[in-house]
Amino acid sequence: MRFRWPFGLLLACLLPLTAQAQARTPLVVEAALDRQVIAPLLTAFEHAYPDIALYYHDRSTLEVDRRAREVHPAPDVVISSAMPWQLARVNEGLAQPLTSPAARHWPQWAKWRNEVFGFTFEPIVTVYRLDLARYMKPPATHADLQAILTTQQARLNGRVTTYSPSRSGVGYTLFQQDARYSPRFWDLVAAMGAAEVSLEDNTQAMLDGLSDGKYWVSYNLLGSYAMYWAQTHPEVIVQVPQDYALVMMRMAFVHRDAPHPMAAKAFVDFLLGVEGQRILAGSTPLFSVLPEVIGPYTAQRLRDQVGERLYPIPINASLLAFVDPLRREAFMARWRREISILEDGD
């Protein structure tokens, strides 16, 4: 008898834990969204839904897309910044619709079919190193950037960086959208090519290069990451282009074959709900979409600051054109031609 009670106590301590672990619904989120950026929201979600065990996997856009298409069991929620790919998956029927009040009241321009929702509002920015300002007027517009690339080619040679359209879905989407807005975009590509632009896979790599001094100017970065970085790295300056600024939205959908649909819907609802959006606006640089949410990072506040020249990439079927293989091929062919067009001349 003397030896029994500690064992019983141990058992009593363990039982609730295991029972609780068994009762918790797992929820697998595959996301192309840095965990450290979204962490406040994840924490709040876990706090609000203690019976859901959240497994959040932060991956590249291409990997997220592959997992959404191929992996079994399918992830519950898919989040990605590669908007055309997300829309293509929804068009294939990989998403299931949400009927919650939050989903129904979500702005029409930021959702498609009530199946996929753009829940952030991230401006695309140009970032330059403070050093650059000593030698030239920092570029405030796309035209400015092209001008300094042309006029200060010697000084900026090798110090320019942007997304690789072939390796990054986000970068490809941004360039496609740029090309839709102005044919002069190709002049900019040619100018970047002449300055021996370095093509990076993601925003973080570009920011690292800027802080290292490797790059002086960087084009088409995710404003959310850049602004977050600039808070702790005073040597980088974030410029929202003054002529037009693209806005990228992270898109989230509940997978059609989600093993835990209730938990998945709860998660997306939380993303779209006022509480989740308030966390986005207050504790992350992802910018809230909802106009009624107040905080330092809201779409409304951004509009107030940079005016009406924000051009969100539209969430509609036209995005499908970007993932058309022929169109992508044609675009890449043109990209390769334009980026080397001035080199040949030299």
Partner 1 sequence: MIAVDGTLKRRLGVWLLATVGVLGAFLLVEAYTSAQRAANRAYDSQLEAAGLTVAEAIQWQDGQPIVEMPAAAFQILATDQQERVFYAILDAAGREVTGNLDGAVTPAWQRAAKAGPVWMTVSYHGTSIRLHGRELTSAGWESLDPVQIWVGHTLSGREALAGDLFERTLTRFLAMVLVAALLMLLAIRTALAPVRRLRQSLRQRDADDVRPLHAQVPGELYDMAETLNALFARQREGRDALLRFTADASHQLRTPLAGLQSTSELALQSEQPDEWRHALETVHASAARTSRLAGQLLSLARLRHASEGTRDTLDLSAVLRDTLMEWAERDAAQHHDLGLAPLPAEPVRIQGESWSLREMIGNLIDNALRYTPPGSEITLELERHPGSVTLSIEDSGPGVSDELLGRLHQPFERGGRQDTQGSGLGLAIVDSIARRHDAALEARNTPGHGLWVGVHFPLSAETN
Binding site for partner 1 (CB under 8 A): 88, 90-93, 112-113, 180, 316-322, 324-327, 329-331
- Distance of closest approach, residue 65 Cβ to partner 1, in angstroms: 14
128, 156 Cβ separation under 8 angstroms: no
Closest approach of partner 1 to the CB of residue 331, in Å: 8
Q: Considering the complex, state which of residue 91 and residue 242 has its C-beta at the smaller distance from partner 1.
A: 91
Whichever of 117 and 229 has its CB closer to partner 1, that residue is 117
- The one-letter code for the residue type at 83 is M
Q: Minimum distance between the CB of residue 258 and partner 1, rounded to whole angstroms?
A: 18
**Cβ closer to partner 1: 229 or 322?**
322
Cα dist from 177 to 10, 75, 172, whole Å: 61, 29, 9
88 vs 191 by CB, closer to partner 1: 88
| Per-position b or e across 202-236, b if 16+ CB within 10 A of its CB | bbebbbebbbeeebbbbbbbbbbbbbbbbeeeeeb
- Please state, in angstroms and as integers, the Cα–Cα distance from residue 23 to each residue in 77, 184, 266, following that order: 20, 58, 17
Query: What is the smallest separation between the CB atom of 224 and partner 1, expressed in angstroms?
Result: 25
Cβ-based neighbours of 46, under 8 Å, separated by 6 or more: 52, 54
Q: Give the nearer residue to partner 1 in terms of CB position, either 255 or 278.
A: 255
- State which residue, 216 or 335, has the beta carbon closest to partner 1: 335
Which of helix, strand or coil describes residue 244?
A: coil
| Strand spans (E) along 175-285 | 198-200, 217-222, 236-239, 245-248, 251-254
Directed axis angle between helix 261-272 and helix 35-48, to 10°?
110
Residue 291: asked if its preceding bond is cis (omega within 30°), the reply is: no
Residue whose CB is less far from partner 1, 55 or 181: 181
Q: Which is nearer to partner 1, 174 or 227 (CB)?
A: 174
Q: Tell me the C-alpha distance between 287 and 282, whole Å.
A: 8
Least gap, CB of 46 to partner 1 (angstroms): 33
C-beta of 299: minimal distance to partner 1 in Å?
22
Pairwise CA distance, residues 203 & 170, whole Å: 10
DSSP state string for 24-91:
SEEEEEEESS-HHHHHHHHHHHHHH-TTEEEEEEE--HHHHHHHHHH-SSPPSEEEES-HHHHHHHHH
In whole angstroms, how close is the CB of 113 to partner 1 at the nearest point?
5
State in angstroms the smallest separation of the CB of 177 from partner 1.
10
> Which one, 20 or 316, has the nearer CB to partner 1?
316
Residue pair 263/25 in contact by the 8 Å Cβ criterion: yes
Dihedral through CA 59, CA 62, CA 63, CA 66, nearest 10?
150
Q: How far is the CB of 333 from partner 1 (least distance, A)?
A: 10
